């Protein structure tokens, strides 16, 4: 069981009054959770999470051609730096890159540029996705990731101007509170780990963060009108012990779900890790305390104090086999 401890700063008789609030979660009993808890426990002993809210859709920025031109030049330079570092030619002519309108052609160009970044990572630093091949896998790992991340960040900065007044944003709003261990290494999904993703938003209260991937999550792909059949459109494909709190029963809107079904892609709500033990009102109060105050500039009455794990142990035995409620995979417990 995981316990998250917060101080709640209220007022009594006009004076600050501090009390303690605890959220407790029962871990789900499956292979992936077993691995996750081991890493989370190590993280707790050696690090402190950054607590931040993650919201979809992004609000966006009004069109500013001068700023977009500046960001485009910065993105060009990032790509040229990456090409020089890896020694692998980029599949399109970067010098002609420009964004002068909100046309669908330019929207798809941004999707393409983002995919070259993820393809380089998924190909183990051997290709941008075009005909040119090479091998940058032995180059300094920290520097190559930093260089690639500059491309990713550059694309997202320009995308903010395409998010503004996007009609696909209407009728949808999702928020979750992330506990992010930013200083911990990323672990790639193994093939079987994908089996623990669920289509049911009420399968958990503590999840892998929706933004935990090398690629693009399902919601953002819908907002960007990206191709949902691409290999890198997935809610999760990496993890490091970070997690998110929130309800996912409103994770996918009806319009969004229909779009995925029309493209013959099964919509997923993510990988649940644990279920709340206690009153759902306490979870809502704390999550909203962080999210709503950060959005409106108000003072958050909650202060994260600590987290700890207790009474969680699985003894593996080949004699006992049960099925996970989230997956058809078999568990040895």
186-242: pLDDT as tens digits: 899 998 999 999 888 888 999 999 877 788 888 888 889 999 899 888 878 899 999
Q: How confident is the model at residue 121 (pLDDT cuts 50, 70, 90)?
A: confident
Domain ranges of the chain: 2-57+173-332, 65-165
Inter-CA distances, 208 with 25, 97, 259, 304, Å:
14, 36, 24, 19
| Residue that has been written with the tokens 């078999």 in this structure | 330
| Short-list 177, 185, 146, 176, CA closest to 46 | 185
| Residue that has been written with the tokens 């996912």 in this structure | 248
Q: Please provide the average confidence, as pLDDT, over all residues in the chain.
A: 85
| Residue that has been written with the tokens 């160009």 in this structure | 109
Inter-CA distances, 240 with 93, 119, 208, 212, 289, Å:
36, 21, 9, 9, 25
Residue 296: the pLDDT is 54
Residue 313: the pLDDT is 52
In angstroms, the CA 26 to CA 63 distance is 46
* Residue 124: pLDDT over 70: yes
Peptide bond into 57 cis (omega under 30): yes
Residue 179: the pLDDT is 95
Residue 177: the pLDDT is 92
* Residue 29: pLDDT over 70: yes
* Residue 275: pLDDT over 90: yes
> Mean pLDDT, to the nearest integer, of 124-141?
87
The whole-model pTM stands at 0.81
* Residue 324: pLDDT over 60: no
In angstroms, the CA 136 to CA 255 distance is 41
3-state secondary structure of 136: coil
E strands, the chain, are 2-12, 15-27, 50-56, 174-180, 187-188, 206-207, 238-239, 243-245, 272-277, 302-309, 321-323, 330-332
* Residue 143: pLDDT over 60: yes
* Residue 120: pLDDT over 60: yes
Q: DSSP string covering 84-98, please?
A: HHH----SS-GGG--
Q: Give the residue, 235 or 322, on which the prediction is more confident.
A: 235
Q: Which DSSP letter does residue 201 get?
A: T
Q: Give the residue, 249 or 190, on which the prediction is more confident.
A: 190
3-state secondary structure of 146: helix
* Residue 319: pLDDT over 70: no
């Amino acid at each position: 069981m995981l316990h998250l401890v917060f101080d709640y700063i209220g007022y009594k008789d006009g004076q600050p009054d501090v009390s303690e609030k605890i959220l407790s979660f029962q871990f789900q009993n499956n292979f992936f959770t077993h691995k996750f808890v081991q890493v989370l426990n190590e993280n707790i002993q050696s690090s402190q999470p950054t607590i931040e809210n993650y919201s979809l859709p992004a609000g966006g920025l009004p069109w500013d051609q001068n700023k977009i031109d500046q960001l485009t030049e910065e993105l060009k330079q990032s790509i040229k730096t990456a090409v020089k570092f890896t020694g692998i030619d980029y599949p399109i002519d970067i010098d002609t890159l420009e964004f002068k309108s909100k046309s669908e052609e330019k929207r798809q160009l941004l999707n393409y540029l983002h995919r070259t970044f993820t393809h380089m990572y998924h190909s183990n630093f051997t290709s941008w996705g075009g005909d040119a091949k090479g091998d940058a896998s032995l180059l300094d790992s920290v520097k190559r990731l930093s260089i690639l991340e500059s491309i990713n960040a550059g694309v997202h900065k320009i995308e903010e101007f395409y998010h503004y007044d996007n009609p696909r944003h209407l009728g949808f709003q999702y928020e979750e509170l992330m506990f992010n261990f930013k200083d911990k290494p990323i672990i790639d999904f193994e093939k079987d780990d994908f089996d623990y993703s669920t289509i049911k938003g009420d399968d958990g209260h503590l999840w892998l963060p929706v933004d935990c991937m090398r690629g693009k999550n399902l919601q953002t792909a819908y907002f960007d009108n990206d191709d949902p059949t691409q290999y890198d459109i997935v809610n999760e494909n990496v993890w490091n012990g970070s997690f998110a709190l929130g309800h996912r029963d409103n994770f996918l809107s009806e319009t969004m779900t229909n779009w995925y079904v029309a493209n013959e892609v099964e919509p997923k709500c993510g990988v649940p890790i644990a279920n709340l033990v206690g009153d759902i009102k306490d979870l809502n109060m704390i999550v909203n305390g962080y999210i709503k105050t950060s959005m409106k500039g108000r003072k958050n009455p909650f202060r994260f104090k600590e987290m700890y794990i207790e009474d969680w142990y699985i003894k593996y035995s080949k004699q006992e086999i049960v099925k996970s409620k989230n997956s058809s995979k078999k568990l040895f417990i």
